[in-house]
Every structure is written in C-alpha cells, then in structure tokens.
Chains A and B, each alone.
Chain A
Amino acid sequence: MTKANVDLLQGTLDMLVLKTLQLEAQHGWGISQRIQQMSKDVLQVNQGSLYPALHRLQRQGLIGAEWGTSENNRRAKYYSLTAKGRTQLTAERANWERLSAAVTDILQTV
C-alpha cells in the first residue's frame, strides 16, 4: 500500500471532517478511516492534526460530542454536526469549489 504524502491545510481538514459527519455521527478513528476511504487512500489523516481539529471545531460550536457505544461494543466519543456546522460546511464547500476551479484555470492556462 502506498501512502500518499499529502499535507492537508488546517482549513481543508476542518472542512473534510465536517463533510464526513454530514450523514451520521462518527468517532475520531472512524473519521480518519472515512477520509482515507473517500479519498481512495490519497489522503492520510495525521492524528496529531485530527484530534486538535476535533476539539477546535467543538469549541467553535460547529460539532457536538457525545459518548456512545461503538460497533464493537466499546465506549467511544461520537462527534456530530451542529446546525451551525452544517451552514459552515455549505459555505466552505462553495468556497472550495470556487477556489479549486480558479486554481485549475490557472494551471490550464498555457
């Protein structure tokens, strides 16, 4: 398995975390696995960034946290999107699409 060495900018990671929580609540490990899966193993989340990001988003009120039981019957901390987080995700997503389109345009210019 080749590990992609892509460094995620802080803001980008926050957006991806919000995205993974869009459909259902998830614990920290689950989030890192989902990002890896959805990016087809291109993006490998650094745990040293993930957990601080989760606490930051929580402080900003974008996600909430609750202790629950995991699929293997363990106590795990589940994060879920708040209403504020949902709005934020929409905004960031629009922003990202504008940005990446712009970057693509520049790169395609001969």
Chain B
Amino acid sequence: MSTGSWKNWLTRLRGEGRPGADRELEDEVAFHLEMETRKYVEQGYEQDEAERRARMDFGAIQKHKESCRDERQGNHFDMLMQDVRYALRTLGKNWGFATAAILTLALGIGANTAIFSVIYGVLVRPLPYENGSRLVLLKPEIAGTGAVQTSIPELYDLREQTSTLDELVEYHSMFFVLLGRDEPERVQTGVVSDNFFDTLGVAPLHGRTFVEGEDALDSDAVLVLTYDYWQRAFGGDPDVVGQVFEMNTRPHTVVGILPQIPQFPVTVDVYMPTSACPFRANAERNMAGDRSAFRNLFVFGRLAEDGSAATANAEISNLAQRFADEYPDDYTDEVGYRAGVVDLKEELTRNARPVLLMLVATAGLVLLIACANVANLSLARVMSRESEVAVRAALGASRARLIRQFLTESTVLALLGGALGLVFAYAGLDMLVNFAAGYTPRAPQVNIDGWVLLFTLLVSVGTGLVFGTFPALPGTRDLGSAIKEGGRTTAAGGLRLRRALIVLQVALSFVLLVGAGLTLRSLSALQAIDPGFETEQVLTARISIDFTAYNDGVDRHAFLGELARVVGGLPIARNAALTDRPPYRANNPRFGQFIIDGRAVEETATPPRFQRTVVTSQYFDALDIPVLDGRAFTDNDSTGEAAEVAIINESLAQEYWSSENAIGSRISFDQGETWISIVGVVGNTRVDGPETPVTPEFYRPFNQAGMPTWLVVRTVGDPDSAARAIKDAAYSLAANPISDIQSLATLRDDAVASPRLTASLLGVFALLALAVTLTGIAGVMAFAVSQRTREMGLRLALGAQPRGLLNMVVRQGMGQVVAGLALGVAGAFAFGQILTDLLFEVNASDPATFVAVIIVLAAAGLVAVVIPARRAVTIDPATALRSD
C-alpha cells in the first residue's frame, strides 16, 4: 500500500477526520446559501424572504450533509465501522464471554505465532550469506564407523577434480594465545582457506577478508576479527585494522573486521588462513604419502551456477570411490571410504524437523480447540440473543447484514485475541528458541518480524471468520418463527451444532492428551535409565593447555598430571581424575579395530565398534563406576616403564569373552605390534546421555595413550565453593587453565531438557484443552437440559423416576463424549506418527497410554455431564411446568 492510500485509510479509520470535514461542509453550505440569498435580494426580495427562498431551494440541509458524508467515505467503510463499534459495545457488555473468548483465542493464536516464527526462522529464511542457497557440506564417511572429517590430501584432490562445485573451502577451529593486548588471551580461532569468505559471500565491515595466496605456507600471517570479539576486546575501534599481535611466536596483522554473521559450526573470536595455523601447516609440509594427514577439516562447497546438490552429491561420491580404488592401502576394504554433499541449510536444520513438525501439529490442534470453544461460546450467546437478533431483523436489517455483524464481532474478538496472543508469543519465544537450539544452530535467527506479524494477522482474521460462521448461520435463519416460537427453533439447530463442536473438542483433547501421555512416558523411561556412574557431587571442567608454553607431549602430560594432583589434594575434593571423554558433553564418537591375542581375526563386514577412553587412576572412584573383576588403574600404570594395560567394560567382556575370563587376555590396536593386557572389567556407563546405547569400551591409563583434557572432580560439600576452590588452584598453575566448569547433575538434567520441555509443553496444552472441553460439555448440557425443563417437569408429574430421567439425560450427554473418543483415537494414531522420532522406548500407539487417556477423559466427561443433568431432575415439577 502506498503512503497516500495509507493516509487515506487512516483518515477513514479515525471517522475520517469527521470534525474537520464536517466544518468545511458547513462553511460550504453557508456560502452557497449566502450567494443564493444575494441572488434573490438582487431580484428585489426582502432579506428575510430571500433567505427563506434560498433555504427552500436548497432542501433538507441535514440530509444532504449526510449524503455528502456517505459519498466522502464510501458506504462500506461506514457500515464496517458501525459494525465494529456495535461489536465492541456488545462485547463490553458481555465482558465475561469476551474475556473467556479472547483468552482462549490468544492461547491458540499465540502458540501458532511463536511456532510460526520458529519455523520461519529455521526452515524458511535463507542462510544469511550471500551465496547461502548454493552452499553444501561435504560428508565423508568410513564404513561402519560413521562420519569423519576430511584430510588435506583429500580436500586438495577433490578441489582439483570436482566440476559441480566451483569452490571448496575448509574450516577447523583451535585455541591459540594472542599476545599484544594487556594480557595474554586465549582466542578461539577459525582456521579457514583463503577463499572461505568470498565463497560464502561475506563482505568485511572494515578492511578486507583473506585474499588468494594467503594459504601459501610462506605467506605472512594475518587475522580477521569477528564482530563480537572486535566489540568485546577493542570496543569497536576500526583502527585495530593494521595492528600487529603475536600468536604462535609469529607476528599476525589484523586485516579486517567481519560484520555480525552467524557462525557455523562454532562461534569463534578470530579467523586466520590455513598457513598461520602451525599444526595445519606442519601437517601440510609432511603430508607426502599420508592420505589421512590432518583429518580435522570441515569442508564446505559452493555449487556451480545452476548446479544442484543432487548432481554434486553424485559426482563427489564417484570421486570418493575413485580414492578408495586408487589408494587401497589407505582405505582398506574394512575401513572403506564414502563421501557426498548435503545442502548446508538442510543439514543445519535436519535434527529440528521432527520437533518442529510436532510443534506445528500441537499448535494447530490448540488453535482448532480454541476455535471450537469460542464457536461454542458464541453459539450459546447467540441463542440467548435471539430476540435481539429478531428485533433487528424486524426493523429491516437484512440477513446478509446480520451475518456480517456476527462475523465482524467474531473478527474483532479474534483480532483482540491475536493481539494478546502476540504478547504470549513474545513472552514464550525465548523458551522456544532455547528449545529449538537443542536441535539446530539456526535457532538464534528466530525472531518476531514483519512476516510473523502478517501471519498473526492472517490467522486472527481467518480464525474470526471460521468460528464466526458457526453462530451466524443458525443465529440468523428463519427469524420470523424465532419470534413466534419464543426461540426454540434456532435453539434446536444451534444445539445440534454445539453438540458437534463438543465431539470435535473431545476428539482434539484426546489427541493432545495421548501426545502428552506418550512424551511423559518417554521422559520417565529416559530418566529411569541408570547411567552407570555417580552424577551427584561431581564437577567436570575443560582443561586448556597452552601449546606454546608446553610444546611437547611430555611437558603437556606433566602439566595435566600436576593439575589433577593439585586439585585432588584440595579439601573440597574427594577424588580428582582426568578423562578424554567427559560425561554428557558432546563427544565425537571414536571407533576402531582391535585384535585379540590367540584368536583368528574374524572376517566381518564391518569392523567392531567400540569406544576408547583415556583416564587417570582415580577415574572409576570419582564416578563410582564399579570394578567387577580384576583391578582399577593405579598410578604405577602411568609411569614410563609400566606394562601396557587396559580395562574393559562389561559389555565388551560379554561380547568377546562371554565364556572365559577376560583378565589376562591381550589385545592389540596396531595389528599385533604392541600387545596390551586386560587387567580389569568395570560396569557399563552411558556417558553420552541416557538415550545412547551402551557401547563396548576400552579404558587406557593416562600416559599410555592420548591426552585427557577434561577434569572430573568428586566434591565434598557445597558445589559452588568447590568450583571456586578448583578454579583458584588451577589458576595458580597457569593462565586460563580450565573453563566451562559444570556439575554432572546439571548436565544430566540438560541432557533430558528437550524431552522434558516437549512433555511439559504437550502436557500444559493438553490440560488446557481438557479444561476448555469439560466446561464446554457442562455448558452444552446445562443448556440442553434447561430447554427441556417443561418436558422434565411433565415427565416427573406423570410419575417418571428422577433416576430414570437422570440416566436418559446422561446417556445423551455421554453420546458426544463417546463419539469424540472414537474420533480422537483415529486422530491420536496420526499424531503419534509425528511424535515417533521424539519418543524413547515408547511405541507411538502404546496401548496403555491410549487406555489410560480414554478412562481419564471418559470419567472427566461423565462428571461434566452429570452435574448439570442432576440439576435438571431435582427440579420441582410444579415450578418446571410454569417455566417459559
């Protein structure tokens, strides 16, 4: 709409500037009369007579003014405003009804608005990069073990051979220490190829991004700062471009600042080209003959103009097959190698889809119930307003005009409900965004914008028209007989409609209750899972090693050992241990192969899956993991000359040593070059969360394998002061040595936060729906019974037993409930399919849940039916016969 017509519209809405326009008309008429009078005076009339004639010529002044007004604003608008004013007046008089209706609608519209904003932000809105729609993610896979990252030689070969992708860029992130500000600072660094930002389509806010050639190993080191880091560390000073800082003992020049863009897969502080990362550069220098050199890279590709992800995927998987054929020693048959590409946006939102689908379905059901309920309320009101409607019709209002009046009223209600719903949506959005954040990195891009507001407006108007039609039809039919019959004809039609609406409401409530029941059962199944380790009084923290200060493995291990010892010696600590696979933190799965001494290598299609965790001797004590056989690690296992040992979990012991004692067996991870003795068997754990299956697992002692960079502390007393004490102790050893201290109890709760929120969301909606439905049933029953007061009185007077009458009325009322339940069962099966992906160890058509919900709903329905029914049959026949 142009500004002009907006202004025009606004003028009209304001009663189109009535005072001003009217005064002008007044002046105009006065001028006309004056001129006319003067004309008559000139013709020789007396002043008085001239005025009279002028006025007579003009005619009915007021009526003409009215016509002018109509012409000015167009009749339709005037009538609409009249209807709206009338609707507001009636609603104001019935504030009880209006409040109930607006609240119900606000709930339905608010839920839909909030959920639409999530759907729109996550699924619809394009990625906020210029080339967002052409970006794909490379997904390499090793047979049987799952997703891996890409190595440098693989990336270079792909880049050279692909024709469907016009650019391939790499990404990995690391912590480095940045020197040159007041204090040394650890910065999360994204290491990217020099074409990274150009490929994504990100232009710098200041300075430049990386340019071709900066990947070359001998080029000068440069940095690009992210917007947030630039604001935080430099207060948004653009002069930082050109400054030099030291990282990894080399000067790094800041060349540019990025705008505020969302960063995938993780948020970093600064970006550097690949040549500036010492690890990446070192790997590249020595990569000859090593297909797996630096297998740490995320690879993004940009589709060639008018290319599709499908053709790129086909080409990349061919190329991967060619690698496997060309380097059979690197990609053995057992390991295999496959790769493909997926649309980046789809990849980032894949996990969120089932949840979003569930949310949409729930919100839709809630809105339907809200509509049905308000339609029911309006019908009840229409039936009581029958005489008013009849009088308006008798005074000449056409049926179309009456229907329009009803629809205006319902739309006004729905718009008010929508406005309140927006408030609800704003209030609930944070919760919903956090919820979605558990499933997609796009969640922060969710907000209520113009599109969402437009959606709310459309839904509100649509809702108003839908539920307004119900009362409008019976309410305006056959008004002549309505007056004659004292209101019984329309009441019958209205009652039928109201009963149908009740059936619908019962069915919808049933569906929501089943959904809530299923998710609750799933949640309790999740919570009933024994993790196999202690979660109370345990803190975990990430250890960051300053790679420049401790530049070889021996130093780093010494630092880690010292840290564990110092923390373990604190009075607040019962045990302190190290691990490389901390509980409830997203861990990359680690798989591999092993052979058992004295057994033939089994020829299997896929290599055995197992986890390998490196821990210190205190680990099993700290987490209370039981030693079932043999022994735990001792500090001796971590000394330089100790024999290579391992501990296995029960699952692994059962799988490979079911009939014999595993203790004393030897295994090897390197085809028999080194043999490792099994010294103990410990209980199974689910460290990656309750829903992950138990995996066979090896534990290796600290110093014999890997670098465990997570601290696990079993504490005594208040966890907060324990956390402070641990931090103080750690900071006495090095700068910024640990971060991200969290208790296992919190992490355990977080692990089921999303299922819990799903269950409570559905639970709340289901209970609201139930309450709304029950009041609906009771209301319709009360009305039906009151319509039959005379009949009841007559039956009682003729000797009917109150008990028999009660049975009759209740049977009729329960008919709707039963019909609703039958409809609901069908609906719940469909809704269950939507929930399947979100359920844990519960079938979507779980009979126990269905039966329980049927019983609950039938019982509640019975109460809602019986209460008004009893009133009907306890009435005094004499009074009843005189009613009406």
A positions within 8 Å CB-CB of B: 27-30, 32, 46-48, 51-56, 58-59, 70, 72, 74-77
Q: Establish whether residues B71 and A48, one from each chain, have CB atoms under 8 Å apart when the complex forms.
A: no
A56 CA to B38 CA in the complex, in Å?
A: 28
A-facing residues in B22-77 (Cβ within 8 Å): 24-25, 27-29, 31-32, 34-36, 38, 57-60, 63-64, 67-68, 70-74
Q: Establish whether residues A59 and B72, one from each chain, have CB atoms under 8 Å apart when the complex forms.
A: yes
Chain B residue numbers with a CB within 8 Å of A74 are 31, 34
Chain B residue numbers with a CB within 8 Å of A48 are 58-60, 63-64, 67
Task: Knowing A29-B36, A47-B59 are in contact, say whether A52-B64 is a contact too (CB < 8 A).
Answer: yes
25 residue pairs from A and B, CB less than 8 Å apart = A27-B28, A27-B31, A27-B32, A28-B31, A29-B31, A29-B35, A46-B59, A47-B58, A48-B60, A48-B64, A51-B68, A52-B64, A52-B67, A52-B71, A54-B68, A55-B71, A56-B71, A59-B72, A59-B74, A72-B38, A74-B31, A75-B31, A76-B28, A76-B31, A77-B27
B57 vs chain A, min Cβ distance (A): 7
10 nearest A-B pairs in the assembled complex, by CB-CB distance:
A52-B67, A56-B71, A55-B71, A29-B35, A29-B32, A52-B71, A48-B64, A47-B58, A55-B72, A55-B68
A25 vs chain B, min Cβ distance (A): 14
A76 CA to B35 CA in the complex, in Å?
A: 10
Q: Establish whether residues B34 and A51, one from each chain, have CB atoms under 8 Å apart when the complex forms.
A: no
A47 CA to B56 CA in the complex, in Å?
A: 10
Task: Knowing A75-B27, A77-B24, A77-B27 are in contact, say whether A47-B32 is a contact too (CB < 8 A).
Answer: yes
B11 vs chain A, min Cβ distance (A): 11
A77 CA to B24 CA in the complex, in Å?
A: 8
A30 CA to B34 CA in the complex, in Å?
A: 12
**Closest residue to A46 on the B side, CB-wise?**
B59
Q: Establish whether residues A70 and B31, one from each chain, have CB atoms under 8 Å apart when the complex forms.
A: yes
**Closest residue to A76 on the B side, CB-wise?**
B31
A81 CA to B615 CA in the complex, in Å?
A: 92
What 16 new A-B contacts, CB under 8 Å, besides A27-B31, A72-B38?
A28-B28, A29-B35, A30-B35, A47-B32, A47-B58, A48-B58, A48-B63, A48-B64, A51-B29, A52-B67, A52-B68, A52-B70, A55-B72, A59-B72, A75-B31, A76-B28
A32 CA to B67 CA in the complex, in Å?
A: 18
Q: Establish whether residues B70 and A28, one from each chain, have CB atoms under 8 Å apart when the complex forms.
A: no
Chain A residue numbers with a CB within 8 Å of B72 are 55, 58-59
A47 CA to B30 CA in the complex, in Å?
A: 13
**Closest residue to A70 on the B side, CB-wise?**
B31
A72 CA to B72 CA in the complex, in Å?
A: 28
A56 CA to B32 CA in the complex, in Å?
A: 18
Task: Knowing A29-B35, A59-B71, A74-B34 are in contact, say whether A51-B28 is a contact too (CB < 8 A).
Answer: yes
Residue of B28, B31, B72, B73 with highest tally of chain A CB at under 10 A: B28
B447 vs chain A, min Cβ distance (A): 40
A92 CA to B73 CA in the complex, in Å?
A: 24
Chain B residue numbers with a CB within 8 Å of A30 are 35
Residue of B29, B31, B35 with highest tally of chain A CB at under 10 A: B35
Chain A residue numbers with a CB within 8 Å of B24 are 77
Interface size class of B (residues with CB under 8 A): 20 to 34
B6 vs chain A, min Cβ distance (A): 16
A49 CA to B858 CA in the complex, in Å?
A: 68
A27 CA to B36 CA in the complex, in Å?
A: 13
Residue in B64, B73, B74 whose beta carbon sits within 8 Å of that of A51 in the complex:
B64
Task: Knowing A29-B36, A56-B71 are in contact, say whether A47-B64 is a contact too (CB < 8 A).
Answer: yes
| Chain B contact surface mostly | helix
Chain A residue numbers with a CB within 8 Å of B29 are 51
**Closest residue to B24 on the A side, CB-wise?**
A77
A31 vs chain B, min Cβ distance (A): 10
A55 CA to B38 CA in the complex, in Å?
A: 25
Chain B residue numbers with a CB within 8 Å of A75 are 27, 31
A74 CA to B58 CA in the complex, in Å?
A: 20
A54 CA to B64 CA in the complex, in Å?
A: 12
Residue of A32, A46, A52, A53 with highest tally of chain B CB at under 10 A: A52
Chain A residue numbers with a CB within 8 Å of B67 are 48, 51-52
**Closest residue to A55 on the B side, CB-wise?**
B71
Chain B residue numbers with a CB within 8 Å of A54 are 68
A-facing residues in B275-295 (Cβ within 8 Å): none
A55 CA to B65 CA in the complex, in Å?
A: 10
Chain B residue numbers with a CB within 8 Å of A27 are 28, 31-32
A53 CA to B58 CA in the complex, in Å?
A: 15
Chain B residue numbers with a CB within 8 Å of A28 are 28, 31-32
A49 vs chain B, min Cβ distance (A): 8
**Closest residue to A53 on the B side, CB-wise?**
B71
Chain A residue numbers with a CB within 8 Å of B27 are 75, 77
**Closest residue to A71 on the B side, CB-wise?**
B35
A66 CA to B38 CA in the complex, in Å?
A: 23
A75 CA to B38 CA in the complex, in Å?
A: 15
B9 vs chain A, min Cβ distance (A): 13
A87 CA to B36 CA in the complex, in Å?
A: 32
B62 vs chain A, min Cβ distance (A): 11
Chain A residue numbers with a CB within 8 Å of B34 are 74
Task: Knowing A47-B58, A55-B68, A59-B72 are in contact, say whether A77-B63 is a contact too (CB < 8 A).
Answer: no
**Closest residue to B39 on the A side, CB-wise?**
A33
Q: Establish whether residues B31 and A47, one from each chain, have CB atoms under 8 Å apart when the complex forms.
A: no
Chain A residue numbers with a CB within 8 Å of B57 are 47
A109 CA to B336 CA in the complex, in Å?
A: 100
A1 CA to B70 CA in the complex, in Å?
A: 34
Chain B residue numbers with a CB within 8 Å of A29 are 31-32, 35-36
Chain B residue numbers with a CB within 8 Å of A77 are 24, 27-28, 31
A47 CA to B308 CA in the complex, in Å?
A: 71
Chain A residue numbers with a CB within 8 Å of B70 are 52
**Closest residue to B29 on the A side, CB-wise?**
A51
Chain A residue numbers with a CB within 8 Å of B35 are 29-30, 70
B174 vs chain A, min Cβ distance (A): 67
Chain A residue numbers with a CB within 8 Å of B63 are 48
Chain A residue numbers with a CB within 8 Å of B59 are 46-48
**Closest residue to B34 on the A side, CB-wise?**
A74
A52 CA to B25 CA in the complex, in Å?
A: 10
Chain B residue numbers with a CB within 8 Å of A53 are 71
**Closest residue to A30 on the B side, CB-wise?**
B35
A47 CA to B62 CA in the complex, in Å?
A: 12
A40 CA to B58 CA in the complex, in Å?
A: 20
A44 vs chain B, min Cβ distance (A): 9
A27 CA to B63 CA in the complex, in Å?
A: 21
Chain A residue numbers with a CB within 8 Å of B58 are 47-48
A30 CA to B58 CA in the complex, in Å?
A: 14
Chain A residue numbers with a CB within 8 Å of B71 are 52-53, 55-56, 59
A63 vs chain B, min Cβ distance (A): 12
B665 vs chain A, min Cβ distance (A): 95
A56 CA to B57 CA in the complex, in Å?
A: 22
Chain B residue numbers with a CB within 8 Å of A72 are 38
Chain B residue numbers with a CB within 8 Å of A59 are 71-74
**Closest residue to B59 on the A side, CB-wise?**
A48
A-facing residues in B125-183 (Cβ within 8 Å): none
Chain B residue numbers with a CB within 8 Å of A47 are 32, 57-59, 64
B53 vs chain A, min Cβ distance (A): 12
A87 vs chain B, min Cβ distance (A): 19
Chain B residue numbers with a CB within 8 Å of A58 are 72
A37 CA to B29 CA in the complex, in Å?
A: 21
**Closest residue to A77 on the B side, CB-wise?**
B28
B199 vs chain A, min Cβ distance (A): 53
A65 vs chain B, min Cβ distance (A): 9
**Closest residue to B66 on the A side, CB-wise?**
A52
A29 CA to B34 CA in the complex, in Å?
A: 9
A11 vs chain B, min Cβ distance (A): 14
- Fill in one digit per residue for B1-35: 1 if any A CB lies within 8 Å of its CB, else 0: 00000000000000000000000110111011011
A52 CA to B68 CA in the complex, in Å?
A: 4
B32 vs chain A, min Cβ distance (A): 4
Chain B residue numbers with a CB within 8 Å of A46 are 59
A-facing residues in B397-447 (Cβ within 8 Å): none
A-facing residues in B624-639 (Cβ within 8 Å): none
